Amino acid sequence: MDSPRFICDAMLGSLARWLRLRGFDTLYSRTISDSELINIARREDRIVLTRDTGIPERKGPQRTVLIHSNDTFGQLKEVLSALDKVETGGGSPRCTLCNGKLAPADRDAVARSVPEYVFMNATSFFTCVECGKVYWNGSHKKSIDSQLQKILGENVTREP
């Protein structure tokens, strides 16, 4: 089964980042218009995630999830609840900035891109194939995994 792909309206930037961390292909732009959002969703077969009650009423995307929660984690729960229970992850985490796929990176190749402390302590690195942002499993990963585990009630540990 293919993982669902999303597009978030301008009000859901934090949700987009968390969906990307969960491995979902999620488009987001702070400046996207409703018409453009609907056109992209239709053209790329994406599920629209929105807080705008007018979007689901418009003729447009095949599937829309109207988000009610003001809290990012509540929003994430709403999205995952709307999906098939089997599908709670989209695969490998994606770049939180641009939605690009992450690829393993050679330590020496990222040496100048990360703080010295990180370079000395991290064992593996990943880079976004689109924007080049470098990721590693740091102390923040435990916090992210803990938040996701609270939401999903499952073991969520994964690379990166």
What domains lie within the chain, and their CATH numbers?
Answer: 6-82 (3.40.50), 102-152 (no CATH)
**pLDDT at 89 (0 to 100):** 60
Evaluate if residue 58 carries a pLDDT over 60.
yes
**pLDDT at 36 (0 to 100):** 93
**pLDDT at 86 (0 to 100):** 44
Evaluate if residue 61 carries a pLDDT over 80.
no
Evaluate if residue 17 carries a pLDDT over 60.
yes
Inter-residue contact 41 to 50 (CB < 8 Å): no
Mean pLDDT of 116-132: 94
Selected residue with higher pLDDT from 46 and 148: 46
Per DSSP, the three-state class of 152 is helix
- What does 36-70 look like in DSSP terms, one character per residue? HHHHHHHHHT-EEEES-THHHHSS--S-EEE---S
Q: How far is CA 72 from the centre of its chain?
A: 12
Cα-only R_g, the chain: 17
pTM to 2 decimal places: 0.83
Cα dihedral angle (90, 1, 12, 102), rounded to 10 degrees? 30
